[in-house]
Amino acid sequence: MENQAIIDSFAEFKDEKNIDRVTLMAILEEALRNQLRKKYGDDENFDIIVNPDKGDVEIWRNRVIVEDGAVEDENKEIELTQALKIEPDFEVGEEASEELKLIDQGRRFVLAFRQNLVQKIQEHDNGIIYKKYKDLEGEILTGEVHHVRPRAVIIYDDDQNELILPKDQQIPRDFFRKGDTVRAVVKDVDLRGTKPVVILSRTDERFLEKLFEQEIPEVFDGLITVKKVVREPGEKAKVAVESYDDRIDPVGACVGMKGSRIHGIVRELGNENIDVINYTNNDQLFIQRALNPAKISSIVLDEENSRADVYLKPDQVSLAIGKRGLNIKLAGQLTGYEIDVYRDVDEDEDVELTEFGDEIESWVIDALKAIGCDTAKSVLELSTDELASRTDLEEETIEEVRAILRAEFEE
């Protein structure tokens, strides 16, 4: 019973780690064998009998009986005199089995065994956690903020497992306090040594995709498919959706009446502006939809090099490019094309200088407007010398401006 008493003293590991008794016994046997190898050099001649029902374990050492004084390996051989103390009718050449008690192995052996057992249980626990979250990569989890650090937020799930939401995986407008409930997608699961590290993300495209699944029934049911998501977290996103049922308008179903369905997603993402686009295999039409709200005049595709030259009326250029160039950047990522925008200008049509705000700095435009040059042609009608004398602009700057303006009418 001594062995059982020692094993029972380790019961807190089973209770704390929620390990079933059979698994605990298997780990226990492995930990015991590790210690036997360290003490005796080999464990092949040991039998370990584990009884998971009783929570007991027996350790038997098997040694070959030899003549007194003929022992060469004390672990595997035993003198006849010593063997007869175990069983009075033993003879030389037979195998003697002797039960070992843990308590007789010494305090150091028991402490080392305990430490080894704790380590094995922790490794087992870590393995279960790693597999659990590895299978959840790309899925949304909900947890509670346990600690806010400068470079990461530490979150605990319902099982009190630690999850990490790094600063660079947070939406710029995110602000968390201890006790807050947080939703995020499992971005990655790594092992640092034997400890699993679960990294969450709120900036990953999969987070927005999974929010669509959670918030929009048709997406959850598979009636609408999210084909692709591109994001500038906290600023703007474009989501291409498709329905295989002609009776379902995928964009309308995702947005809802007056934006009712998508409103919760937008709020979750810190008021991120979300464009929902009807997916199509027609690249020209897809690019046109991706550049919404701009109205496209024409598109010239170079499919081999994945380039698209898009022509628009001057008043549509800024709409296509968008604030800080986000609209055209995300449209390119969504369609897989590098998009270049050109103004579609007739030879006899003039263009306001303000329409070139994306290529010419505002202070240069203001300087030209101050001398009455409000349009492209009014600038081109004057020579570089005349423009330089009437403004404070450098000749080099004027030549750059004239080159940009000429290009519009040469296209």
Query: Tokens 């063997």 sit at which residue?
Result: 83
Contacts of 73 (CB under 8 A, 6+ apart): none
Contact 68/79 with Cβ under 8 angstroms? Answer: yes
Q: Is the pLDDT of residue 3 over 60?
A: no
Q: Quick check: is 333 in a domain?
A: no
Q: Can you tell me the distance from the alpha carbon of 84 to that of 90, in angstroms, rounded to the nearest whole number?
A: 6
The string of pLDDT tens digits covering residues 325-360 is 899 999 999 999 999 888 776 656 778 888 888 888
Mark which of 112, 130, 148 sits at the end of a domain.
Answer: 130
Q: Which domain holds residue 27?
A: 2-130
Read off the pLDDT of each residue in 121-143 and give the average, rounded to a whole number. Answer: 88
Which CATH number characterizes residue 85's domain?
A: 3.30.1480
Q: Is the pLDDT of residue 142 over 60?
A: yes
Confidence of residue 231 (pLDDT cuts 50, 70, 90): very high
Q: What's the total number of domains in the chain?
A: 4
Q: Is the pLDDT of residue 52 over 90?
A: no
pLDDT exceeding 90 applies to what percent of the chain? 40
145 and 86 share one domain: no
For residue 331, what pLDDT is reported?
95
Which CATH number characterizes residue 199's domain?
A: 2.40.50.140
Of 129 and 350, the structure prediction assigns the larger pLDDT to 129
Read off the pLDDT of each residue in 149-171 and give the average, rounded to a whole number. Answer: 92
Averaged confidence pLDDT in the chain:
86
The torsion angles phi and psi of 276, rounded to 5 degrees, stand at: -100, 125
Q: Count Cβ atoms below 10 Å from residue 393 Cβ, excluding itself.
A: 18
Q: Can you tell me the distance from the alpha carbon of 295 to that of 317, in angstroms, rounded to the nearest whole number?
A: 9
Of 285 and 31, the structure prediction assigns the larger pLDDT to 285
Query: Tokens 């499919």 sit at which residue?
Result: 303
Q: Quick check: is 321 in a domain?
A: no
- Whether the bond into 166 is cis, omega within 30 of 0: no
196 and 242 share one domain: no
Report the Cα–Cα distance between both ends of the chain, in Å, rounded: 95
141 and 126 share one domain: no
Q: Is the pLDDT of residue 410 over 80?
A: no
For residue 341, what pLDDT is reported?
85
120 and 144 share one domain: no
Mark which of 130, 162, 183 sits at the end of a domain.
Answer: 130
Question: Whose CA is closest to 176, among 191, 189, 163?
Answer: 163
Map residue 223 onto helix, strand or coil.
coil
18 and 92 share one domain: yes
Contacts of 127 (CB under 8 A, 6+ apart): none
Q: Quick check: is 253 in a domain?
A: yes
10 and 118 share one domain: yes
222 and 197 share one domain: no
Alpha carbon dihedral 299, 303, 304, 308, in 10-degree steps, equals: 30
198 and 228 share one domain: no
The string of pLDDT tens digits covering residues 61-77 is 899 988 988 888 888 88
Confidence of residue 308 (pLDDT cuts 50, 70, 90): very high
265 and 377 share one domain: no
Q: Quick check: is 54 in a domain?
A: yes
Q: Quick check: is 260 in a domain?
A: yes
Read off the pLDDT of each residue in 106-123 and give the average, rounded to a whole number. Answer: 80
Question: Whose CA is closest to 272, among 173, 204, 351, 350?
Answer: 173
For residue 206, what pLDDT is reported?
95
Sheet holding 338-343, edge to edge: 298-302, 307-312, 338-343
142 and 119 share one domain: no
Q: Quick check: is 19 in a domain?
A: yes
Q: Is the pLDDT of residue 167 over 90?
A: yes
Q: Which residues pair with 51 in a beta bridge?
A: 56
For residue 208, what pLDDT is reported?
96
Q: Quick check: is 188 in a domain?
A: yes
For residue 1, what pLDDT is reported?
41
11 and 103 share one domain: yes
Contacts of 78 (CB under 8 A, 6+ apart): 63, 64, 65, 66, 71, 96, 98
Tell me the residue type at 351: V
- Determine which of 63-67, 89-93, 343-347, 400-404 has the lowest per-residue pLDDT on average: 343-347
For residue 53, what pLDDT is reported?
60
Q: Can you tell me the distance from the alpha carbon of 337 to that of 303, in angstroms, rounded to the nearest whole number?
A: 8
For residue 151, what pLDDT is reported?
92
Tell me the residue type at 212: F
Of 268 and 371, the structure prediction assigns the larger pLDDT to 268
Of 311 and 12, the structure prediction assigns the larger pLDDT to 311
146 and 116 share one domain: no
The string of pLDDT tens digits covering residues 182-225 is 999 999 998 887 789 999 999 999 999 999 999 999 999 999 99
Contacts of 260 (CB under 8 A, 6+ apart): none
Q: Quick check: is 176 in a domain?
A: yes
Q: Can you tell me the distance from the alpha carbon of 110 to that of 105, in angstroms, rounded to the nearest whole number?
A: 7
Confidence of residue 58 (pLDDT cuts 50, 70, 90): confident
Q: Is the pLDDT of residue 380 over 80?
A: yes
Confidence of residue 397 (pLDDT cuts 50, 70, 90): very high
For residue 184, what pLDDT is reported?
95
For residue 29, what pLDDT is reported?
82
For residue 205, what pLDDT is reported?
95
Q: How far is CA 325 from CA 17, 20, 204, 321, 322, in A?
A: 52, 57, 20, 5, 5
Which CATH number characterizes residue 241's domain?
A: 3.30.300.20
For residue 8, what pLDDT is reported?
57
The separation between CA 208 and the C-alpha centre of its own chain, rounded to angstroms, equals: 12
Confidence of residue 176 (pLDDT cuts 50, 70, 90): very high
Read off the pLDDT of each residue in 133-162 and give the average, rounded to a whole number. Answer: 92
Mark which of 239, 262, 279 sits at the end of a domain.
Answer: 279
